[in-house]
Chain A
């Protein structure tokens, strides 16, 4: 692209206050802390109280990212989510209004766990095409509202949260710039992770089983496809940047499962200690997972200005995406 480069100017994140531990799950389901930890790497996750919606978390994360950027206006708001406040309309316009951003274009991106990377791509394109000089990109999800509370395989994995970055127009080579994207999908895998009911297909065929409104996931094929696609997509983004995997300072993968993160790092030849991991305390937060991991790593002082960073994700759809960037010099990012 010959237009301006999208540069990360601010970062913010939030999780709801309630902590759901493995022990709390073990008290009511046929599971245990050891069972959950050995299979997923997760110890606890945060879940919203009834009445708290994805948009509420998105507003908090968005406000924090704007404050971190020292900005009070942007030209566009993109919310990546698979758990919108309502099926219609999109969540982003209300989030933009609640943030006092005025009548800017605002819309949702639905690419589930790859949503944040997709939204970054859309926003970077808007900046390169001079449609916007700055974009607030928010990844927000509340999967606790769509998992079956009695399904130990999903309820133990997913948590709620939101994370956001502000992108602004910059010049090529500037620190903080987004460099090369790789995005893709395979609709033949649509049934791997899905909520069968609630959309137009179910509505057109009559009432659904109440259980069809919950998220269903096939763990083993998801695992295999996630590792394959994230590794291949990461390689494509690295090749597009002209970086070797060995030169990466940080691999920030979608926090789906610590064993997926390790397998992707191993496949790429990136040492496991270069993979950012915070799934142990937040679980899989879908579109929020990458910005939450970035906020954790930034707050810990791990991410330093100029670091070579690769973001990579796989999610329902199936969708996948990766992007390379150099880490910007940001004011201190608060932990959440």
Chain B
């Protein structure tokens, strides 16, 4: 679980240009300066990375990084490769 939250935080940092210190397990998307399409981009990246279907609308602005990790694990994603 820890590994997965770390990796999702890293994806946010790398792909969306968020400062590294600003993303942790408890960080919600609403705290980041992400626009409405950022969640769409993250949906596609997570689906590709973890090989589980992520529906449009699964990720909500109020979700934290650890909420997203839990959601992916519920869908059967394995934590960290």
Contacts and interface: CB of A to CB of B under 8 A. Distances in A.
Interface in A39-57: 39
Contacts of B43: 224
Nearest to B55: A224
Contacts, number: 32
Interface string B10-39: 000000000000000000000000011101
A219 B44 contact: no
Interface string A209-234: 00000000001110111011000000
A224 B44 CA distance: 7
A195 to B, nearest CB: 22
Contact of A39 (B35, B39, B44, B57): B35
Query: Which range holds the interface residue count of chain B?
Result: 10 to 19
B39 A228 contact: no
Contacts of B1: none
A259 interface: yes
Interface string B34-67: 0111011101100010000000110000000000
Contacts of A221: 56-57
A154 to B, nearest CB: 14
Nearest to A35: B35
Contacts of A219: 36-37
For A224, A228, A263, which residue has the most chain B Cβ atoms within 10 angstroms?
A224
A224 to B, nearest CB: 4
B44 A220 contact: no
A263 B41 contact: yes
Nearest to B53: A228
A224 B53 CA distance: 12
A267 B56 contact: no
B35 A220 contact: no
A220 B41 contact: no
Contacts of B39: 220
B40 A223 contact: yes
B44 A259 contact: no
For A220, A221, A257, A267, which residue has the most chain B Cβ atoms within 10 angstroms?
A220
Nearest to A38: B35
B1 to A, nearest CB: 26
A38 B33 CA distance: 12
A221 B36 CA distance: 11
A225 B56 contact: yes
A267 B35 CA distance: 21
Given A220-B56, A221-B56, A227 B44 contact: yes
Nearest to A228: B44
B40 A220 contact: yes
Contacts of A225: 56
A284 B37 CA distance: 17
Contact of A223 (B37, B48, B57): B37
A223 B39 CA distance: 10
A224 B40 CA distance: 6
B56 A39 contact: no
8 contacts: A39-B36, A39-B37, A220-B37, A220-B40, A220-B57, A221-B56, A223-B41, A267-B48
Interface of A: 38-39, 219-221, 223-225, 227-228, 257, 259, 263, 267
Interface of B: 35-37, 39-41, 43-44, 48, 56-57
Given A39-B36, A267-B48, 10 more contacts: A220-B36, A220-B37, A221-B56, A223-B37, A223-B41, A224-B44, A225-B56, A228-B44, A259-B37, A267-B44
